[in-house]
Structure 1
Amino acid sequence: MKKLSLILTLLAIGMALTYAQEKNYLVFEYMRVEKGNTLPYIEYKDFLEKLYQESNNQGDIKGWDFWSLKSGAEQEDFHYLTVTYYNDPVKMMEGLSLGKLISYGKEVYKDMDHKALHEKISEAHKSRDLAVRSYMEEIVAVGDNFRLQPGVLASFDLMKAVEGRFEEYETAEKEVFLPIHKKKIENDLMATWRLLRTALPFGSEARSTHMTINIYKDYLQFFNSMEYEDIEASQEERRAVEKGLQSRDQKWVYLATLEKVVR
């Protein structure tokens, strides 16, 4: 009996460790690029993509996305968004230093020395204004079998849970809205959906506390999804949706197109 209990305990620990290893931590970096820097930044973007691919190959990151923003908060006026994926919060907070990027560059660009790589990476950073950086952890994801590729669309919805209703909001997303998104995916109206919360402490004046990411394979799927209405939903389910909406404030929505992806 004791042996069985030990085996069950070890299995539970193993499952917990596996879950911890699979959890995603994401860094969102919103960029502004002045008109005169657009072409240089596009060139540097291609240069940096290879560095992030090498970082992924070495296991320092889980992935990297480069998105072109089509719409968002007017006062923000961001042009691009990068998303870097990590498998633990420590790596996420440490990020990729200039020294690490140079070391990746030495593996990828054999004809460039340390000084040339330093200058190239510095120029890439100077060509854009890193306006906002957000650290997030993934809570729920559905549709992970969909493979991201350039051209897909995403809606990044920034939410702020109503003060005092934090847990109520997350419960609503998991128990009320998640089934709706699953149904959309099953009916080819959405590719993937994710719910994230901020990974850093925040106060009542925080810009946002959560984010949902809605991925669509093309504009046709996006617009069909926008017109979707679950006519089979019961009155009780509709009331649950309304209550869930009241537990958060949808601050901003950014529509974006994927241009580069590293996995």
Structure 2
Amino acid sequence: MRTTVVIPAPDRGTDLQIRVSTPATGDSPPVIVFSHGFGESKDGYDPLVDHWVANGFAVLQPTHLDSRSVNLAPDDPRTPDIWRIRAADLTRVLDELPRLGRFDLDRVAVAGHSWGAQTAGMLLGARVVGLDEDWTDPRITTGVLLAATGTGEELVPFAAEHFGFMRPDFAGLKTPTLIVAGDADQSQLSTRGPDWFTDVYHLAPGATHLLTLFGGEHSLGGITGYNATETTDENPARVAQIQRVTTAYLQGTDLAIDGSTGKLESK
């Protein structure tokens, strides 16, 4: 079952739209709050959402202000603070959970892809270097970060000038978290190679597992949508690997991988 809920948000300037996907059967399902990547929306990532819902999870997806569906003007005064507003969006979803349905509030996960992974990571305990802002939310019990931004020391000049928030400090990320990265994911924002996307695993105390996908680029085989046009590394086997491993991690069951498409590390 899917529905869209609109939450009034006068302080945000634009009401918050949330897609709520719930299993067809069962009461009080565990929850995944998912943060999309730059330009995406609540209506994306169906390959992951459909699998999680089929395995008993409710998935709530807010549309952030950077979404193409919002079409925020580049000179909008909110633009420099979108990274903060994104984190506040996830907090607002958590605040609304008791009113949005009957969920298991003792089993709440946060997940995200790309910019959404940095957003989700903030609620798991990560911070921005040089800023005394703590967005950690104790209501979250586990996390999944897909293609998460690495540290800021090797940002290209454009990113260093315009994306000052891309300097995560992972020392406070202590909530159990699975990291997913592609070994062919070369970011244009960093001078580092694909290992940039594994920084969170090596630096965050709570990052317990790292799934590395062989040949995976930034869309990790096509997680943003079925037949997504931005996917340059379309590979159903990679997507299936992510579906299986993320679901098992969120369920607290044994992680099994297909060694032909990736490798799994744990601390």
Q: TM-score range by the shorter chain?
A: under 0.3
What TM-score does the superposition give when structure 1 sets the normalisation length? 0.25
Greater fraction of residues in strand: 1
Greater fraction of residues in helix: 1
Which structure has the higher relative contact order (CA within 8 Å, separation 6+)?
Answer: 1
